[in-house]
Amino acid sequence: MSDLPTITPEFELDLLAAEYVIGLLGLEERMSVETRLREGGDLAERVAEWEHRLSDLNDDYAEVPVQNLMPQIEARLFPAALVVKRNLLSNLWAWGSAAAAAVALVAYLALTPAAPSYTAILTADAGNLKYEAVITQDKLTLTRVSGTTADASHSYELWVIAGDNPPVSLGVIPGDAESITRPGLAAGQTLAITLEPLGGSPTGKPTGPVVAKGQLIAA
Amino acid sequence: MDDPIAVLIQNTATQDRAAFRELYSASSAKLMGVLLRILGQRAEAEDALQEVFTRVWLKAGRYDASKGRGMTWLIALSRNLAIDRLRQRSDHVSDDDAMAAHADPAPRAETRMIATGEARRINDCFATLEPDRAEALRGAYLTGLSYTDLATKFDVPLNTMRTWLRRSLLRLKECMGS
């Protein structure tokens, strides 16, 4: 209106960046902005400018002490760290978060007696993506047989589904590795890989489409 | 460089796990404050904090120190993740509950004192806006309220709120020297 300059497309872009940074947008609009941000360009620059412009407001956030969650974070990121030691188990349960429960479940499975070997072939409904999962002793090794890894802005995340239980994340599959090592699982369970935002599902539950799945069977 | 957090992020980008742990020690309390303020529930905020640091490890290489301070980057990453989660909640808590959950303690006295000098410019600019619009923008930024939430809270039509705030944003930008 009178004090509002003419809204040119460039103005719209700047306002969209501001609305995104402040957090005014609904889910769909946010997702659409985030898709555009991955491509960089003007919008990304304007978002960075607004983040900087409003950053003094961050002083209003109080510090809240938090227990050391680094063990869980490293377990998500570094496969070797996922082999949870027994003395950590009680702490993990006490912490009670979904991620801790997931790690603890894997740890529980790992503590069951050395099992016979299982395998699973994870295949896609469409396309040629194929992973082979082999379980020996307490380790699961996942190998990509064919197809491609996720693009630069997405991650593949591995899930285990036991019966009617909700999927439990076994972590993001490293894009640059052909295989990863995980503690063992059991026959009859389903392994599934979903396409998630970079770094894995933001919610702890699968948010993207299943790109491959298969059932564990005795080898 | 007078920004130890920025240095830790840059070292994390080189797969330096010691730097990554130090970064967690140096920033997790502040980021927890951000996540708890937006998400309102401690268990969910702790889960989100794990996700934040997972992303920090994967994305540290994209941090550009010439474009802003390390803590600004970490807080932006945390706010975006928390707001995405907030919008994804299918079972929305009522607005009153959300407001109650967001009523967290004010910054500690010493934080407030340090903040005074740095925050004056944005506060001066907020002061040029109509008070309820400034309050709406501040509330949206700090607690993740959307246009829809704000329209309900201030009891105005959605489009009115949108027009008010867009105009206020332009004024704010002008005031802060683009």
Q: What is the 3-state secondary structure (H, E, C) of A118-161?
A: EEEEEECCCCCCEEEEEEECCEEEEEEEECCCCCCCEEEEEEEE
Cα–Cα distance for residue pair B72/A4, rounded to 1 Å:
30
Quickly count helices (H) and strands (E) in chain B. Answer: 9, 0
Q: What tens digit of pLDDT does each residue of B57-86 get?
A: 999 999 999 888 999 999 999 999 999 999
Can you say whether the dihedral through the CA atoms of A193, A139, A214, A105 is positive or negative? negative
Identify all chain A residues contacting B57, using CB atoms and an 8 Å cutoff.
Answer: 73, 77
Would you call B111 and A59 a contact, using CB atoms and an 8 Å cutoff?
yes
Identify all chain B residues contacting A65, using CB atoms and an 8 Å cutoff.
Answer: 29, 32
Would you call A62 and B83 a contact, using CB atoms and an 8 Å cutoff?
no
Would you call A22 and B43 a contact, using CB atoms and an 8 Å cutoff?
no
Cα B82 to chain center, whole Å? 9
Can you say whether the dihedral through the CA atoms of A17, A37, B71, A198 is positive or negative? positive
Nearest to A77 among B29, B54, B165 (CB): B54
Q: Is A41 left (phi over 0), alpha (psi -120 to 50) or beta?
A: left
Q: What is the pLDDT along chain A (219 residues), one digit of tens a residue?
A: 445 555 677 789 999 999 999 999 999 999 999 999 988 889 999 999 999 999 999 999 999 999 999 998 988 887 653 333 333 444 444 444 555 545 544 544 444 444 447 778 888 887 788 888 877 665 677 777 778 888 878 888 888 887 777 787 877 887 544 455 565 567 778 889 998 888 888 887 888 888 899 888 877
ipTM score here? Answer: 0.84
Would you call A99 and B50 a contact, using CB atoms and an 8 Å cutoff?
yes
Q: What is the dihedral of CA B83, B89, B93, B99, to 10 degrees?
A: -10
